Amino acid sequence: MALRRKRLRSAPFPPEWRRIVESHCLFYERLPKPDRRELEGHIQVFLAEKKFEGCGGLEVNEEMKVCIAAHACLLLLHRKTDYYPDLKTVLVYPTAYVVPTTRHIGSGVFEESQQTRAGESWREGAVVLAWDAVLTGVRNPGSGYNVVFHEFAHQLDYEDGQADGAPLLGHGEPLIEQKRHYAEWSRIMKTEFEQLRARVNLGQHSVLSDYGATSPVEFFAVATECFFSKPVEMRQAHPELYEQMKWHYQQDPAQLGWHWPKTSVQ
Ligand SMILES: [Zn+2]
């Protein structure tokens, strides 16, 4: 497997794929050259190992695959990590899709409703994405909204076997170091999550999306979206959270000047 992946990473990157990355990932041109090459290598492994399935009549094309893979693989850059080991399939719907849900409203009474979703991350090997929602993130890179970053952050969260808002931390380091990382992570995340909840309750604006106040699990996914799409604002408003994400992702997008207007021209 290691040798196969090495071969995939060192194969020439198809020019057509590069054109897709350039036009769909504004961050690509701001990456240092070695990072671009690393990202391309990861994309090659990702596309060789993961299956894509179109849903709702959609035929998944190369543009969709490469665009999704590039965003997913940005989260892997510089890190000792596997390629989302539990993930087997990426399901793509043309637009936001409707899921029937049942909610217990008390005394054994259940309410059935329809929920519209732009994406989902399952622990059992699948990420679901609505292509129009993916494009919204692509066209508004500074908005803080990016469904691919969001759903793949959930996959990282699940990697340690638990959905708790903490991904694998200090993987491969001595146990005592890992414990220190988890303690630090949990202190900062808890504080920031509680602050966001308080702000949302007061109706105050934050650089982090309100959706992050839903749960610690959603907070990590929202913080990841924010880190890669509004890093300069995040570093300024939430320096401790930014530092923690910078350490986890081994990247410093604010330093690279990733700052885009909320709405782009595409
Ligand atoms: Zn989520």
Q: How far does residue 121's CA lie from ligand 1's centre (Å)?
A: 7
Q: Is residue 256 part of a domain?
A: no
Q: Is residue 114 part of a domain?
A: yes
Say how far apart CA 252 and CA 243 lie, in whole Å: 9
Two tokens at 14?
Answer: 């198809």
Q: Is residue 87 part of a domain?
A: yes
* pLDDT < 50 regions, the chain: 264-266
- The DSSP output letter for 210 is G
Q: Report CA torsion sign: 56, 60, 67, 6.
A: positive
Which pTM was predicted?
0.93
Q: How far does residue 150's CA lie from ligand 1's centre (Å)?
A: 6
Say how far apart CA 108 and CA 125 lie, in whole Å: 32
Q: Is residue 257 part of a domain?
A: no
Q: Is residue 254 part of a domain?
A: no
Say how far apart CA 155 and CA 153 lie, in whole Å: 5
Q: How far does residue 138's CA lie from ligand 1's centre (Å)?
A: 18
Domain that residue 235 falls in = 2-249
Q: How far does residue 212's CA lie from ligand 1's centre (Å)?
A: 8
pLDDT of residue 266: 41
Q: Is residue 96 part of a domain?
A: yes
pLDDT of residue 262: 67
Q: Which of 8, 13, 5 is nearest to 37 (CA)?
A: 13
Domains contained in the chain, number: 1
Q: Is residue 259 part of a domain?
A: no
Residue 90 contacts residue 53 (beta carbons within 8 Å): yes
pLDDT of residue 35: 97
Q: How far does residue 254's CA lie from ligand 1's centre (Å)?
A: 24
Q: How far does residue 149's CA lie from ligand 1's centre (Å)?
A: 10
CATH number of the domain within which 225 lies: 3.40.390.10
Q: Is residue 85 part of a domain?
A: yes
pLDDT of residue 265: 43
Q: How far does residue 109's CA lie from ligand 1's centre (Å)?
A: 26
**Most distant CA pair in the chain: distance in Å?**
61
Say how far apart CA 246 and CA 185 lie, in whole Å: 12
